[in-house]
Chains A and B, each alone.
Chain A
């Protein structure tokens, strides 16, 4: 990646390695012989198991019931028998009970096309209940249940729905492929979401590097006479960050400590909007998602539609297996994703990518003294001084760090990425936020 010209608003121009998978049409992974389905794949509390060991489940059957408003239902991705309910890890530091299902029996849905259901006459309340029943959550990583996000407080009128197809994380092209292959479904999903939240305007935001997707959306919008605008947005990472996308498209900044809804804006990712469409049009619960499998250690980098709960190892094996031991095995994008040590770690609703990275991609290095170059400050998209904050945290002065804007950090990873001294800037900021109750962005 190359730092952007200075005096900019931060961010990086990525050497994004998207060419690995950009041309790879989405294909369906074979059904895994066993799924490990975490009951905690979303923000909020873990779902409660409603099946027991020995139970026979059908595809799409409810196996975990949401507990509380910010929780979501979990469904069986494959038909079969529950062989265990055991503890596992969704990502490091986040244990979750997992329902283990061994593949067995017949399919209700696979290969049986349905006609999309009418939704125009249904009330927002009804549609929200539908989304909740289908366990739709923010599928770009946030995991906030869609019904919770789309439930607008009384007295608030939503002005603007933004469909986020920026996909600025390097390597990831799953959203790009989804936009190319399912543009009509995404536009329909956006209509549904706009209908639910009562948005007056809808903007489809697509990264400027995805010209073909922009063109596809523009053509469809024109043909169908939809009142949507399709905007090509910055390709600098992290343009897809919710708050930065709002600045770019709306021209206003979300005030510190507030939420987009305070600007009467709702941002939903393309993957989420697609899941909304499938939930409303077909009553289909979230049991699969599109994942980019990439990195120099993957033999056949691909975009794969895969069942939730598929072990990472099985997915990699389907993509030709690994060329060599990866330096890092990452769930999500390279900038914000987590490494996993266990090949049995399951794909969840929020897994955007599986990356097997080589050492030449990771570029690890020993920490050396800060030379004061200020690169971290230049790339910070929200105008923080990462090195100053980290010094405060390392000297155990969290109060000073809070005053200097620790809570504003987007955890995008840019500062650590550029630091020539390999100081773990983002890592320290994230830890500082967790420890001092900063919470998730």
Chain B
């Protein structure tokens, strides 16, 4: 059939020919990626507020450098890529990866390292596999590992947040401090955040006020008490990577992602359940407490678990595609995070956990397929 048009009886020109379906959902991949990026912005903005303009410089460098690297690669090697891939670049995906990389950086990281990270993420993790549809390992995680092994010092030099009182004795992260405690064999009872206070980590007045109010109004009725320090951790008043500190703002972004149906419940829920339950069972052991006494709240609020749960683990290009596969992915990621937090070389575990699950994703996709209509289980094998 030709694409010709013809005059109708009613005098209106008839349209071109199309195969079904004739209608489409009002959504595009660019919109999905752009929305993911915008949902990160509140937490990123908080990072620049507490760590200063230096953090903003890191974020801007990461995003711009990602876009530039992608533009250069596509220009140089255009003929090697699928035209649809090359046409779409540089685009929202590179910007999103760049922002995630920036948010995973310590605020004081040298800008050259940030640029190196984006070159590795976009150049190696993304385009050596042919672009978005070929991605296997999450580019930002891959870049982070690359940096953590190449410049371990720069990647663990933390900055005290501007919102904490200036008498802060340390700018180590909460997880880092606890790890030291575990290595020394110190016994910590009654909430891990309390330990931070005892070693001199300051609190904001807001934390004291909210904790006090909460204990008076809510937790008193249940004969429990919220120890000091958790509100600061939740709001983001603690040292850490630029984008990971404010759990509150990350959750805000995730609500939008759920609302727009950009992410589904499977991965975050499975991740949360396995992470929380295993932390509760085993999390108390390093600090001299028994089984079933882990401080789940503390582990959720520190490090980048929440950031990873909603914004990295859910990245569609390197997570399983079926609902059942995604549940397995989430369960595995949560369990490995607990394992790595306790036994790996660094304090943080979620990066390694997600990379391992990325590696397993092709296998998960093979094992957890949708059940085909009209095929008995035996026949489909």
A interface residues (Cβ-Cβ under 8 A, vs B):
1-3, 6-7, 10, 92-93, 170, 243-244, 247, 253-258, 311, 313-314, 316-317, 321-322, 324-330, 332, 334-344, 355, 357, 361-365, 367-374, 377-378, 380-385, 387, 405, 408, 411, 413-414, 416-418, 420-422, 424, 426-427, 430
B379 within 8 A of A: yes
B329 to chain A, nearest CB (A): 12
Q: Which of B85, B88, B264, B370 has the most CB of A within 10 A?
A: B370
Point out the residues of chain A lying under 8 angstroms from B370, CB to CB.
10, 377, 380, 383-385
Of B14, B371, B376, most buried by chain A (CB within 10 Å of CB) is: B14
Contact A341 B22 (CB under 8 A): no
The tally of residues in B whose CB lies under 8 Å from a CB in A reads 63
CB within 8 Å: A-B pair count: 215
Known: A341-B4, A369-B88. 18 other contacts (CB 8 A): A255-B376, A328-B15, A328-B22, A329-B15, A335-B21, A336-B20, A363-B25, A372-B317, A381-B373, A385-B321, A385-B369, A413-B21, A416-B21, A420-B28, A420-B32, A421-B28, A424-B19, A426-B20
B71 to chain A, nearest CB (A): 16
Are the C-beta atoms of B23 and A341 separated by less than 8 Å?
A: no
Query: What is the CB-to-nearest-CB distance from A428 to chain B, in angstroms, rounded to a whole number?
Result: 10
Q: Considering the chains assembled together, what is the distance between the CA atoms of A409 and B21 in angstroms?
A: 14
A339/B28 contact (C-beta < 8 A), A256-B379, A362-B22, A380-B370 known = no
Chain B residues near A357 (CB, 8 Å)? Answer: 22-23
Please give, as numbers and ranges, the residues of chain B lying within 8 Å of A3 by CB-CB distance: 261
A residues within 8 A CB of B320? 374
A384 contact set on B, CB distance < 8 A: 370, 372
- Measured between C-beta atoms, what is the minimum distance from A318 to chain B in Å? 10
Could you say which of B28, B317, B369, B373 has the most chain A C-beta atoms within 10 Å of its C-beta?
B373
Pairwise interchain contact A314-B9, C-beta atoms closer than 8 A: yes
Contact B317 A1 (CB under 8 A): no
Return B205 CB to nearest CB of chain A, in Å. Answer: 44
**B222, CB-defined interface residue at 8 Å:** no
Taking chain B's interface residues, is the majority helix, strand, or loop, or is none over half, making it mixed? Answer: loop
CB B128 to nearest CB in A, in angstroms, measures: 15
Does any Cβ of A come within 8 Å of B18's Cβ?
yes
The listed residue (B15, B28, B371, B373) touching A327 by CB distance below 8 A is B15
Q: Closest Cβ of chain A: how far from B4's Cβ, in Å? A: 6
Among B23, B29, B30, B82, max chain A CB count under 10 A is at B23
Please give me the 9 A-B residue pairs with the lowest Cβ-Cβ distance, nearest first: A343-B8, A374-B321, A413-B21, A313-B9, A382-B373, A383-B370, A373-B316, A256-B374, A370-B133
In contact, A341 and B15 (Cβ under 8 angstroms) = yes
Residues of chain A contacted by B21 (CB below 8 angstroms): 334-336, 413-414, 416-417, 426
Determine if B9 and A343 form an interchain contact, defined as CB atoms under 8 angstroms apart: yes
- Most B Cβ at <10 Å: residue of A92, A327, A341: A341
Contact of B14 among A93, A244, A340, A361 (CB under 8 A): A340
Q: Which of A10, A255, A370, A422 has the most CB of B within 10 A?
A: A370
